[in-house]
Structures are given as C-alpha cells and as structure tokens.
Amino acid sequence: MMYATIQFLNGLSYGLSLFLVAAGLSIIFGVLRVLNFAHGTFYMLGGYVAYEAVSRLGLANGGFWVAVAVSGLVLAALAAVIERLMLRKLYERDEIYQLLFTFALVLLISDVIRGLWGTQVLSISFPPELRGAQDVGLAFYPRYRLFLCLVGGAVAIGIWFVFQRTRWGRIIRAATQDREILGALGVNVPRVYLVVFSAGAALAGIGGALAAPALALKPGMDAEIIVECFIVVIIGGLGSLWGAFIGALLIGQLRSIGLYFVPEWEIVLVYLLMVAVLVFRPWGLLGKREGA
Amino acid sequence: MPRRHLLLAAAVVALLALLPLSGSTYLLYLFTQVLIFVLFATSLNLLIGYAGLVSFGHAAFFAIGGYGCAILLRSYGVPLLLAMPAALVMTAVFATLIGALCVRLTSYYFSMLTLAFGQLVWAVVFKWRSMTGGDDGFLRIVSPSWIDTPASFFLFTLVLVTLAMVALWIVAHSPLGRTLMAIRENQVRAGFLGVHTRRVQLVAFIIAGTFAGLAGALFALFNRSIFPDSAWWLQSAEVLIMVVLGGMNSFFGPAVGALTLILLGRLTLELTAFWPALLAIILIATLFFFPSGIAGLLKARGRR
C-alpha cells in the first residue's frame, strides 16, 4: 500500500508538471493554429535559465523562487520577440512554413543552450523550504514533489478561471472559434496572438524551472518532453485543454506503473496507449472530430 | 522542361560513372555520401513536396534499413544480395504499420506522430543492446569482396541510387503522384472525386520509407558501422533541411539540397561544433528569403 501510494504520487507529480507544458502547447495551437515544435525547447531553456539564476543568487532567501520567476519572464520576452519579428510574417503562408520555422527554433535554441552551458548533466538542489519528506498518511513523500502536484493543480484551476471568468479568457476562446469576426468586433487580434504565444512560452519556462530540481538538465531533454507533449495532446485531443489535462495525468500514471513492471521500457506503454487511442478514437478522448 | 532535367540528370550520372578514373579516394567517398543522401532526401520529398506532409521522423526508416541490413549481414551471416532486399521488406513493413497510424488525421497529427514514432525507433535501437549494440553502435560490418574498394562501392551505390531515383521519378509523375498533389491542394474535394485519400497517402508513405531504408542500408555498408544517432531527430532534421534548401516543389531540388549541404559541411569543418545552429539559420533563411529553395531560384533565373 505504501509503495502504491508513492508510485501514485510519482505519477501524479510527473503528470501535472507535464500538463504545464502541454497546456501551453495546446493553447497556442488553439489560438494561433501553429503547432509549436519549440515548446519542449522553451521548457528546457526555462530549466537552464533557472540553473543560471540559482547559481548566481543561491538557493537561500527565496533565491529559487526568484529564479523560477526569471525563467518565466525570460521565456515570455524571448517568445514575444520571436512572434513579433518572425513568426507573425508566416501566418499568411502555408502551414508547412510555420511548422518548419518552429522546428528551426528547436535546432537553434538547443544549440545555443549547448554552447552556453555545455553538454554535462546539470542539476539544481531542492529549495531549502521544501527539502525532506512529508508524512502523507500512508507513506513519507518528498516535499518537493508534493509541491509540484499542488502547483500543477493550481495552474489547471488558474487556467480554467482565466478562460471562463475573465475578459481575456473570453477573447481567447473567441479567437479559437473565428479570428476574423473577432477582428471585426474591434479586438486587436495580432496582440492576442502575441500575448498567447508569450504566455504559453512563459508557462513552459516556469514548468522547466520547477521541474529542474526533480530531474537532470541535459541535452536531448527537449526532444523527450516535446514528444511526450505531442502524445498528451494526441491522447487528449488536439486543441482541447481538458483533454491535455487528462492525457498528462494518464501518461504520468502509466509511466510510474511502467517503471515498476517494465523498467527501461516504460515509454513503450505510453506509446501503446497512444496507438490504442488512434485506432479507436483518433480525434482523442476529448477532441472534436475535424474535417473529413 | 522536365525532359531537359532528365537529360541533365543522365549526363550527371554518366559523368559520375567516370569518377573512379580520377583515382581520388577523397572524391569517391565524398560522392558516395552525396549519392546516399540524394536518395534519402528525394524519398522524403515524395511526402513533403508531393503530398504536403512534413515528416519529422524520416530517419527512422533510414535507421531500420541500415540496422536491418547490417544485422542480417553480420549477426546472421546472410549474403548481401539477400540481406539488402530483406532489409527493404522489413522497412516497408514498419513503414506500413507506422504510416497507417500517421496518416489518419490532419497534417498536424502527421507531423507530431512521425516525430513520436521516429523517437520510439531511436529508443528501441538505443536500448536493445543485445541486438543493436546500443550507443556503442553496430560495428565491423563487412561488405562482400566485390564492393570493398572505394571505387567499386561507389559504382555499386551509383547504380542502386540511379535505379531508385528513376523509380521515384516514375512514381512522382504517375497518377499516384498527381493524386497526392490533388489531396495536398484539397483533401475534401479529392475525397469527393472518389479518391481514397488515406490509402493513397499511406502508399506514398511506404514508398518513401522503403527508399529511405535503401539509403540507410547503403549508409551502413559505406561506413561499415551504424549508430543510434542515425534514427535521432537531428538526422531527420538534416535531411528535411536538404529538401527545403534544395526546393520542395521540384523533383531534383532535394538532390541539389543534399549536394549543397554536404559540401557546405565539408567546407566549414571549423564550424562543425555549431552545425545544428548553422542548419537552423540555413532553414530560417530559406523559409523567409527563398521559400522555393535553390531550385526555385534557378527556375526564376531561367525564366528571366
């Protein structure tokens, strides 16, 4: 029972931090109709920026939290520049060009990361406030991972609140439906795009920064996370935020079950789930049937 | 116009057949590599240029063909003339399985799924140490004696790549190629005209994958070794950039792209450390300044 509890919490914390990244990907796709291949690289860059900030500020006295905030800001600014100067020029073109452009960003940013921080594995220590284990009734569990569960849950609720209860949320929902009508109603659509792309990137950066103490920073982690995000949105349904939520939680659990029963090959279970969804419900668990 | 291109291509092949006379091992190695990537890039362009489907995992089939041929050859002692066709059949089977899942929905799904399955193939190659050697690579692949000199291997590659290119040219200009373009332009309308759109795309996927497998098998023999990197997404990216740089709207564009990128790699050896960044800059420059690639530039010049 104790072991099962720990496995369950491992899966939950992994799934919820995956959701942070997949949510940004899904929102950007919903509004801009751009599939952002660079989203995993934004996540990775968030982790490295946090590493850099922590190594300058130290972990004590809230240094870690400043680092997380810095990651979010850096990524938001970078994404805003990319959207404003380059991506914006491609909206009118065929979707192939947008795909290839975000893919070029993956190559470029991950190589810049390699140039700045090298290829050795880096890691951040747990912030002092969250070290040690917490008694959760059935077992002792690392405080930091519990904290990740809380953040993931809070972000999910926060996104729901913004989307359903604020003016910005209404505009974003409208933009996913019909951008031309939205523009005709006097909304500055290019600015909506800029804000959504930038906010999605910030979410990925914060996700990367928060995940950094729980895992290692190394080259190639961007490919790993973007593939998992794609699997999340395929399982949940492309463009569906709650689909992404459910997909991320399922993958988290499946991975932790897989680590127990088929260590080393746990990723195969995740693919099997995806294949099953594609065969029986190709548009995803919560997705809408699109086109033909 | 296409006829002129074919004549030009035939002349290039004839010239290349004379290359062993130069006696330069460097040139033979260089052009063997170029030929292999010409085939790899052209096979990918069947998907990108003709079908409008961007695959981010084409290297998976390159690796399956390469590992398949190499493992049959070394671990099971199968003769090359059997091992190579068997590896191609294996690649075609994998392409069928993966392709059937990838072409089910929109082109966005296609791109995500090809990347995901490409990384799965990489993970299997990487972790299945007893079969593939894992990250140490699969080494000491021995070619039969009739192709173990640089000149004979070059000619062997030239013959196979030429035959494969002819086959791809026929496919691209057959009703299948036209149908792919029709689906690319308007999937719904093509469906109304009675085209089984998914099946046509799947057939193209299998053909493209199988020819990538041939390129991979040649690559493994050429290097006498093959590594998991050959299935990693960076390999898919490299060949994708060859296609875009050369020109995805032209049959021979990717071949020009392959030649350009490989020569560029050789000329900028001191920049090798930044190769991915260089690739990214080339890709971005192409997308923004000459989206039809080098072939598009040449065509615009010819028209003037």
Pick from A86, A227, A282: CB nearest B116 = A227
pLDDT tens per residue across span A143-197: 888 898 899 899 989 999 998 899 999 998 888 888 888 888 888 888 999 999 9
Question: Measured between alpha carbons, how far is B184 from B191 in angstroms, rounded to an integer?
Answer: 11
Nearest to B248 by CA among B5, B4, B42: B42
Q: Say which residue the tokens 């615009």 belong to.
A: B300
State yes or no: pLDDT of A31 exceeds 80.
yes
The CA distance from B285 to B293, in Å, is: 10
Q: Do A100 and B283 touch (CB under 8 A)?
A: yes
- Residue A156 Cα, gap to closest chain B Cα (Å): 24
Nearest to B105 among A100, A231, A282 (CB): A282
The answer to whether residues B53 and B110 touch, using CB atoms and an 8 Å cutoff, is yes
Give the whole-angstrom CA distance, residue B56 versus residue A185: 39
Q: What percent of chain A has pLDDT over 90?
A: 39
Rounded to the nearest angstrom, the minimum Cα separation between B73 and chain A is 27
Distance (Å) from the alpha carbon of A234 to chain B's nearest alpha carbon: 8
Among chain B residues, CA nearest to A113? B277
Q: Say whether B115 and A115 touch across the interface (CB within 8 A).
A: no
Cα distance from A86 to chain B (closest Cα, Å)?
9
DSSP chain A: -HHHHHHHHHHHHHHHHHHHHHHHHHHHHHHH----TTHHHHHHHHHHHHHHHHHHH-STTTHHHHHHHHHHHHHHHHHHHHHHHTGGGGTTS-HHHHHHHHHHHHHHHHHHHHHHH-SS-B--PPPGGG-SEEE-SSSEEEHHHHHHHHHHHHHHHHHHHHHHHSHHHHHHHHHHH-HHHHHHTT--HHHHHHHHHHHHHHHHHHHHHHHTTTS-B-TTHHHHHHHHHHHHHHHH-TT-HHHHHHHHHHHHHHHHHHHHHSTT-HHHHHHHHHHHHHHH-TT-SSPPP---
- CB nearest to B119's CB, from A86, A112, A227: A227
Sign of the Cα torsion B227, B228, B231, B236 reads negative
Cβ-based burial of B86 (10 A; exposed 0-12, middle 13-18, buried ≥19): middle
Tell me whether residue A83 is in a domain.
yes
Q: Under an 8 Å CB criterion, which residues of B touch A?
A: 48, 52, 54, 56, 101, 104-109, 111-113, 115-116, 119-120, 123, 127, 187-188, 191, 197, 232-234, 237, 240, 244, 248, 274, 276-277, 279-281, 283-284, 287-288, 291
> Measured at the alpha carbon of residue A39, what is the angle toward residues B287 and B276, in degrees to the nearest 5?
50
Nearest CA to CA, how far is A281 from chain B (Å)? 11
**Which residues of B are less than 8 Å from A96 in CB distance?**
48, 52, 54, 248
Tokens of B178: 């036209």
Percent of chain A with pLDDT over 70: 99
Contact indicator for B235, B85 with CB cutoff of 8 Å: no
Give strand pairing partners of A140.
A135
pLDDT at A27 over 60: yes
> Does residue A139 belong to any structural domain of this protein?
yes
Query: Could you tell me if residue A256 is inside a domain?
Result: no
Q: Which option is the CATH number for B28-303: 1.10.3470, 1.25.40, 3.40.50, 3.40.5?
A: 1.10.3470
**Number of Cβ pairs < 8 A linking chain A and chain B:** 105
- Per-residue pLDDT band for B273 (boundaries 50, 70, 90) equals confident
pTM (2 d.p.): 0.91
Give the count of domains, chain A: 1
Residue of B nearest to A97 (CA): B287
Which CA distances in Å does B298 have to A164, B247, B253, B268? 53, 10, 10, 24
Q: Which structural domain range is residue A57 located in?
A: 17-219
pLDDT digits over B217-243, tens only? 999 999 999 999 898 888 898 999 999
The answer as to whether A73 is a domain residue is yes
Nearest to A25 by CA among A208, A211, A200, A172: A200
Predicted confidence (pLDDT) per residue in A38-97, tens digit: 999 999 999 999 999 999 988 777 888 999 999 999 999 999 999 999 898 888 888 888
What are the sequence ranges of the domains in chain B? 28-303
ipTM, two decimals = 0.88
The full length of chain A comes to 292
Q: Do A111 and B276 touch (CB under 8 A)?
A: yes
Residue A278: its chain B contacts at CB < 8 A? 101, 104, 113
Q: Is residue A254 part of a domain?
A: no
Q: For the residues of B5-28, what is the DSSP string, one character each?
A: HHHHHHHHHHHHHTGGGG--HHHH
For chain B, what percent of residues have pLDDT higher than 70?
Answer: 99
- The CA-atom distances, in angstroms, between B173 and each of A154, B208, B247 are 56, 14, 17
Q: Rounded CA gap, A238 and A234, in Å?
A: 6
